[in-house]
Structure 1
Amino acid sequence: MTIHVVIADDHPVVLAGVAAALQGVEGISIDAVFPGSTELVQHISHTWAGVVVTDYSMPGGEYGDGATLLAFLQRRFPQLKIVVLTGIENPVVLGGILDAGVKCVVSKTDAGHFLGHAILAADQGKGYISPEIAHAIAGVEKTDEPHPGLSRREAEVLRMVAEGLEVVEIANRIRRSRKTVSTQKISAMRKLNLEKDLDIFDYAIKHGLVPASQLARGVRRGDKED
């Protein structure tokens, strides 16, 4: 039986690489590839898909990215099987993906065949954590400088700030008040001893909240205050 797969990633090179890695894998058919959540949701709203492979950090789409997109997909398409393919290495964010109910997570730094394993596992309703993801999650217990008390929501807010989103944009995306998001941002910055948005950008890349390629596409607002 063929597994019909749809892929979403805002990096054209990644889309091409994933398609190449899965080409010829027995039992897997790539039906469509999309650059963001808008096109992805439009497609699966009208065309059945067995498994969706989606990037986690994929800003700009109508349906958001990260935890917001995953929650939307699971709510709107409860039968859909999801594999998250991500360049994020932060254990807090990765833990949030698993807590959101996604059972299959693969790192973009893993060899291509691991994604095929994840798709097969997702189709069967099983879990699959690639080697690099497992290593990153396990590493949180070994690091000399873990994220001190940072909640998953605070980590998510910092991730989106690092991607160039304003507090009001984050609030709209995660359906929280501007005040709530601002409070979470301030709380996270206090816990991490960060003073400015520029510090958030530096922290995000150093600690794997966003991939370097994704941060480079954000708008560095420097010392701009909310």
Structure 2
Amino acid sequence: MMVKNIIILDDHPIFHNGVKQLIDSEPLLEVLDMCRTREELFFSLSLGPADILLLDCSLPDGESNILELVEQLSLQLTDSALVLMGDSVSHQKIAEQCSPMIAGYFCKTLPAENFLILLHRVRRMLNNESNNNSKCNIVMQDNIPFVSNRLSVKEKTVMKYLQKGLSVTQIAECLNRSVKTISSQKRQAMRKLDLKNNRDIFELKINEL
């Protein structure tokens, strides 16, 4: 399987170094370059393409806004996946505006393992596009991760019960809620955490969510 190259756009050097170490620890992912400004990003892209672009929603003062940047990149880089990063509700709203053009969104307050889950899912998506010889833009679909908010108290409670081995029906009885409500909370929690199946629930560190 081919290694996917990543370029990061973020103006925080500490975050740069931490993300690079995290990504470079993964055998199928590699940081190609780390850029602090839009100008640096386009210079880096002029030297060679990247498979995945990680773009911070908070661009430095004087830079064009992130929506304009995403629009430009999505038109120019039809074989690259764009992933936005942020740490606030406003950033999530920006990502929602960009959703037809991006492959995912990651909230920086989530645990590192969620970040890697997102990147590997995007990597697999890129591999599928390559295998299908598709030339269309790689964009967000319903099955592409949109890792954003932390779990609500109710969602976390449901996940804790699931980790103990209880079924949705049993949890509904314990919490005096309908099966439909518990199923909905489970589904929302799994969507936020980008979990594929029930087995993934047992690998979570619930107290860190």
Q: How does the TM-score come out when normalised to structure 2?
A: 0.57
Is contact 1:82-1:122 (8 Å) kept? Answer: no
**Alpha-carbon distance in 1 for matches of 2:104, 2:88:** 14
Aligned to 1:43: 44
Aligned to 2:93: 92
Structure 1 residue 10: Cα displacement: 0.9
Aligned to 1:9: 10
**Alpha-carbon distance in 2 for matches of 1:45, 1:133:** 37
Structure 1 residue 133: Cα displacement: 7.1
C-alpha spacing 1:112/1:78, structure 2 compared with 1 (3 Å): same
**Alpha-carbon distance in 2 for matches of 1:89, 1:41:** 28
1:39-95: CA deviation from partner (whole Å, max 9, x where unpaired): 111111231211111101113466x23101111111121221111111232353342
Instruction: Kindly provide the amino acid, as one letter, of the partner of residue 107 in structure 2.
Output: S
Runs of 4+ in 1 over 3 A off after TM superposition: none
**Alpha-carbon distance in 2 for matches of 1:4, 1:17:** 17
Is contact 1:8-1:54 (8 Å) kept? Answer: yes
Structure 1 residue 23: Cα displacement: 2.7
Aligned to 1:128: 145
**Alpha-carbon distance in 2 for matches of 1:102, 1:134:** 23
Aligned to 1:174: none
**Alpha-carbon distance in 1 for matches of 2:65, 2:88:** 13
Aligned to 2:110: 110
Aligned to 1:83: 83
Instruction: Kindly provide the amino acid, as one letter, of the partner of residue 8 in structure 2.
Output: I
1:31 aligns with 2:32: yes
Instruction: Kindly provide the amino acid, as one letter, of the partner of residue 118 in structure 2.
Output: A
Is contact 2:58-2:86 (8 Å) kept? Answer: yes
1:72 aligns with 2:72: yes
C-alpha spacing 1:127/1:133, structure 2 compared with 1 (3 Å): farther
Aligned to 1:19: 20
**Alpha-carbon distance in 1 for matches of 2:74, 2:117:** 21
**Alpha-carbon distance in 2 for matches of 1:101, 1:131:** 17
C-alpha spacing 1:122/1:12, structure 2 compared with 1 (3 Å): same
**Alpha-carbon distance in 1 for matches of 2:151, 2:94:** 13
Instruction: Kindly provide the amino acid, as one letter, of the partner of residue 146 in structure 2.
Output: I
**Alpha-carbon distance in 2 for matches of 1:110, 1:128:** 13
Structure 1 residue 122: Cα displacement: 2.1
Instruction: Kindly provide the amino acid, as one letter, of the partner of residue 52 in structure 2.
Output: V
Is contact 1:54-1:84 (8 Å) kept? Answer: yes
> What secondary structure is seen at the aligned counterpart in 1 of 2:83?
strand
Bigger CA radius of gyration: 2
Instruction: Kindly provide the amino acid, as one letter, of the partner of residue 29 in structure 2.
Output: I
> What secondary structure is seen at the aligned counterpart in 2 of 1:110?
coil
**Alpha-carbon distance in 2 for matches of 1:83, 1:23:** 17
CA RMSD between the two structures = 2.2
Is contact 2:23-2:116 (8 Å) kept? Answer: yes
Identity %: 17
